[in-house]
Structure 1
Amino acid sequence: MSMMPTRDTLPEFAKHAVASPIVILALLLASLLGISAAHAETVQVPGTTVSMDPPEGFEISDTFAGFQQLKTSNSILVVEMPKEAYSEISTIFESQDSAASALASQGITVTGVSSIDINGEAVNLVQGVQSAQGLEVGKYLMVLDGNMTAMITINVIDDSLSESEAIDALQSVTLGTPASLEEQLGQLIFKYQDAAPFVHNQVMAGSAASISTFEGTDPSGKKPFIIITNSLSSFELGDLQAASEMMLAQTADLQDAEVSTGEIVESAGGDAFRVEARAPDMLAIHYLWARPDNNYLRLAAMGAPDLLEPLIAQVDTVAKSVSFR
């Protein structure tokens, strides 16, 4: 399915998990690629602590952490965050009111919150429907507390996946030990080099990397960090200036930012389109790569203006090092 997403490829809560675990919840290998789930065998999601028995016809994705059913575009997305993020993220799942409040800005209508059994523990399951690109996408979301905070979302575009099948898959989930940094980075379709004080922080959803100037999380949300993420579906970007402005306008703290006229910048992975976005309390440096397969890659560096401004050269160094596997 080819479409221009109305939301970013990475869930808003996952982006803010780097800076702050207080979240506005949103949408958001090689060895297991192509293994069919038709026989309901337990499969580990590469680069994560999560294993599960996916529904029939779901296979490990090679573009994000999770499973996809190619004939229907139904998917299961796994996003892991630091363990300490669980205490705040889990509050979103406490009731229908708390979930509805957090998800409303992403066009998700919460239809219910129920409790399901996961390995003998009661876990709250949020169900809802998201309206996007003229589609009604069913949602099943839950968060688990393990060695990592694991967020699992089932997206149902084709209703051939029943509610009982979705819940059975979620109830099969088990959590193991965290993957090594090398294993996590190996799931990404891109590579990059750190530039001090920016150092690797974490890999999220098998499709995004965070590079920060601090360890763990930053409750203030002001310390500089970089997110690099690839799109999870193919579509044509069209005008790169307009696409950049749209993506930035959908990013927390940058909705009303002034966006500069972009320029083409050479990088190890080819030409990228660079803009800056300035708001009173936030500065962003944004790079966008249009890929030949109608996918894109974006890099966004964000931080308080007085903290990020002195580090723009380092941000540009990281961006220019980005290449593709």
Structure 2
Amino acid sequence: MRLPTAECHTIDLSADRRTSVVRTVALFVVLAASFMFGALQASALPQQALNSRVVLDLPEGFEPSPLFSGFTNENLGVSYVIFETPHEAYDELISGFTAEGLAKRGITSVERGTLPRTDDHIYIRAQQTSPTGTYEKFFVVFRTADQSVLVSANVPVEIMRNRTITAEDIERVLSSAKTAAHLTVRELYRLGYLGEFKRAGTVIGTSTVYTRDGRFEPERKGQSRPVFMIAPSLDKRPVKEPQAFATKLLTSLTGYRQLKLSTPTEVTIGGLEGISIEATAVDATDENPVNLLQILLPAPGGGYYRLLGITPTSQTLIPEFRRIAQSFELTDARR
């Protein structure tokens, strides 16, 4: 079964499980384009992202995002999103950055370039159209003594066209990317009940995956198994039509086909009112039928939390997913 996400320090890079990194990169580039919000100043100061070791030299107007590992300029709709993996994952990480591979994720106009960096790295510029608009995309992948790092810059095309921000501005920031010795940690939510599920880790700092064995990839290649994940939105944009938006999110889920959705229902979890949808589908990776439960919870002050459970139809876990979801609550950091 395709895992929605993975965590850098627990990825198993054995030959049978290498695709975990590539799949995670695929999720990363999709997430980084789907939920961005928005005049750069000449001065730049080093800033470290929350739940990350990465430091970028950023102009005034950028702040660490409370929802993901990275930075945003809400006035411009520009963001930098960060993904970290172990040092040895570098070759697998860059393998996903081909024109063909990116095209499968809706990323086009791919061009390779160079940056004034002295480390091993690749730099790519591209474009992507998402539900929130069309974005210029800038990717740098580099490795340090103990990490491999991907930084994605996402800029609305109109900002580039009127030269409020230029490619040189973005390249200057990406060239400055480095890592600190320690990460900063900020928890946004918690689960009071997990049953047999265990935390497998996080991606982009705040999205969390849970499996029964605490692994991202199954012990046997191709083995179908249930997973549960929580993914905060990448910005604080208000969800104006929760039911329509929840339906759109679920029908756009990559890696699954023949999706059939149930009628959305209203739920209240942790004091948040949201939308619950069940669905059936076929996993495009292993052709196994699956059941899905998605719960969309619009957050106070904008944005949302997406709770998603996926299980082979042979395992009746939707009630268990609901019980896990009902234990969701925000921490003091998000109240």
TM-score (norm 2): 0.76
Give 3-state SS (helix, strand or coil) of 2:199's partner. strand
The residue correspondences of 1:81-230 to structure 2 (distance < 5 A) are: 81=85, 85-93=89-97, 98=98, 100-118=99-117, 120-133=118-131, 135-146=133-144, 147-157=146-156, 158-159=159-160, 160-177=164-181, 179=183, 184=185, 186-188=186-188, 190-218=189-217, 220=222, 222-230=224-232
| Structure 1 counterpart of 2:247 | 245
What letter corresponds to residue 4 of structure 2 in structure 1?
A: K
Give 3-state SS (helix, strand or coil) of 2:254's partner. coil
| Structure 2 counterpart of 1:15 | 4
Q: Which moved more, 1:248-257 or 1:83-92?
A: 83-92
> C-alpha distance in 2, partners of 1:213/1:296?
26
> C-alpha distance in 2, partners of 1:176/1:316?
39
Conservation of the 8 A alpha-carbon contact between 2:262 and 2:277: yes
| Structure 2 counterpart of 1:273 | 275
| Structure 1 counterpart of 2:82 | 78
Deviation at 1:85, TM superposition (A): 4.8
| CA 256–299 in structure 1, closer or farther in 2 if over 3 Å, else same | same
| CA 15–110 in structure 1, closer or farther in 2 if over 3 Å, else same | farther
| Structure 1 counterpart of 2:35 | none
Aligned residues: 292
> C-alpha distance in 1, partners of 2:91/2:304?
33
1:78-102 Cα shifts (integer Å, max 9, x gaps): 1234666544222123xxxx2x222
Deviation at 1:268, TM superposition (A): 2.2
The residue correspondences of 1:296-315 to structure 2 (distance < 5 A) are: 296-306=304-314, 309-315=315-321
> C-alpha distance in 2, partners of 1:37/1:214?
48
> C-alpha distance in 2, partners of 1:55/1:14?
36
> C-alpha distance in 2, partners of 1:187/1:304?
30
| CA 239–105 in structure 1, closer or farther in 2 if over 3 Å, else same | same
The residue correspondences of 1:16-55 to structure 2 (distance < 5 A) are: 16-17=5-6, 20-23=20-23, 24=26, 26-27=29-30, 28=32, 39-55=43-59
Deviation at 1:57, TM superposition (A): 3.0
| CA 49–194 in structure 1, closer or farther in 2 if over 3 Å, else same | farther
User: Is 1:319 the equivalent of 2:319?
Assistant: no
| CA 92–236 in structure 1, closer or farther in 2 if over 3 Å, else same | same
Conservation of the 8 A alpha-carbon contact between 1:128 and 1:138: yes
Conservation of the 8 A alpha-carbon contact between 2:139 and 2:153: yes
Kindly, what percent of the aligned residue pairs are identical?
22
| CA 244–84 in structure 1, closer or farther in 2 if over 3 Å, else same | farther
| Structure 1 counterpart of 2:233 | 231
> C-alpha distance in 2, partners of 1:225/1:83?
26
Contiguous gaps of at least 5 residues in structure 2: 8-18, 33-39, 283-287
Conservation of the 8 A alpha-carbon contact between 2:198 and 2:214: no
> C-alpha distance in 2, partners of 1:226/1:197?
11
Conservation of the 8 A alpha-carbon contact between 1:16 and 1:22: no
Contiguous gaps of at least 5 residues in structure 1: 1-12, 29-35
1:273-294 Cα shifts (integer Å, max 9, x gaps): 2222112423211111133534
Give 3-state SS (helix, strand or coil) of 1:15's partner. coil
What letter corresponds to residue 297 of structure 2 in structure 1?
A: W
1:217-246 Cα shifts (integer Å, max 9, x gaps): 316473322221122231334251x43332
What letter corresponds to residue 128 of structure 2 in structure 1?
A: Q
| CA 300–177 in structure 1, closer or farther in 2 if over 3 Å, else same | farther
Deviation at 1:133, TM superposition (A): 4.7
Conservation of the 8 A alpha-carbon contact between 1:115 and 1:122: no
Conservation of the 8 A alpha-carbon contact between 1:108 and 1:129: yes
> C-alpha distance in 1, partners of 2:281/2:308?
15
TM-score (norm 1): 0.78
1:138-192 Cα shifts (integer Å, max 9, x gaps): 110122335454321111122222222211211111123463xxx54x242x322
What is the RMSD of the two structures over their aligned residues, measured on CA atoms?
A: 2.9
